[in-house]
Amino acid sequence: MKQRRRIYYIEEQKALMWDRWQQGDSLNAIARLFDRHRPSIQRILSETGGIRPAPRRRSRHALTLAEREAISRGVVNGLSI
C-alpha cells in the first residue's frame, strides 16, 4: 500500500464524516468520499468512541480578539498593563 501525505481535516470535513456516519454509511464509503483509506476516517470517529463531540465554544473568561489587539498595541507603545 502506497503511503500518502498526512491530511488534517477541517471542521466542515469532520462534520460531513459525522453526518455520513450517523446516516449509516460504512467507514469505507466515507473514506472513498475523501479519497483516503479506512483507518484515516476510523481514527477521527474512534477518538470519541463513535459519538459526535459537542461543538467547541470559547470560554466567557477568554479575551476577545479586540481585547487582545488593545493589549498588543499597548505593549508595543510601552504602556503598562
64 in any annotated domain? no
Q: Region 9-21: what's the mean pLDDT?
A: 93
Q: How many domains does the chain have?
A: 1
pLDDT digits (tens, 9 = 90+) for 41-72: 999 999 888 899 988 888 999 999 999 999 99
pTM over 0.85: no
Q: What is the mean pLDDT of residues 21-34?
A: 94
Is 81 inside any structural domain? no
Q: Is residue 73 part of a domain?
A: no
CA distances 60 to 57, 64, 69, 79, Å, are 9, 9, 17, 26
CB neighbour list of residue 38: distance below 8 Å, 6 or more residues apart: 27, 28, 31
> Is position 46 within any domain?
yes
What domain range is 45 assigned to? 1-54
pLDDT interval class at 5 (50, 70, 90): confident
**Is residue 74 in a domain?**
no
11-22 and 38-46 helices cross at what angle (nearest 10)? 90
SS3 at position 18? helix
Is residue 28, in this structure, part of any structural domain at all?
yes
Q: Residue 47 domain-assigned?
A: yes
Q: To the nearest whole number, what is the mean pLDDT of the chain?
A: 90
| Burial (CB count <10 Å: 0-12, 13-18, 19+), residue 37 | middle
User: Does a structural domain hold residue 71?
Assistant: no
Q: What is the reported pLDDT for 56?
A: 84
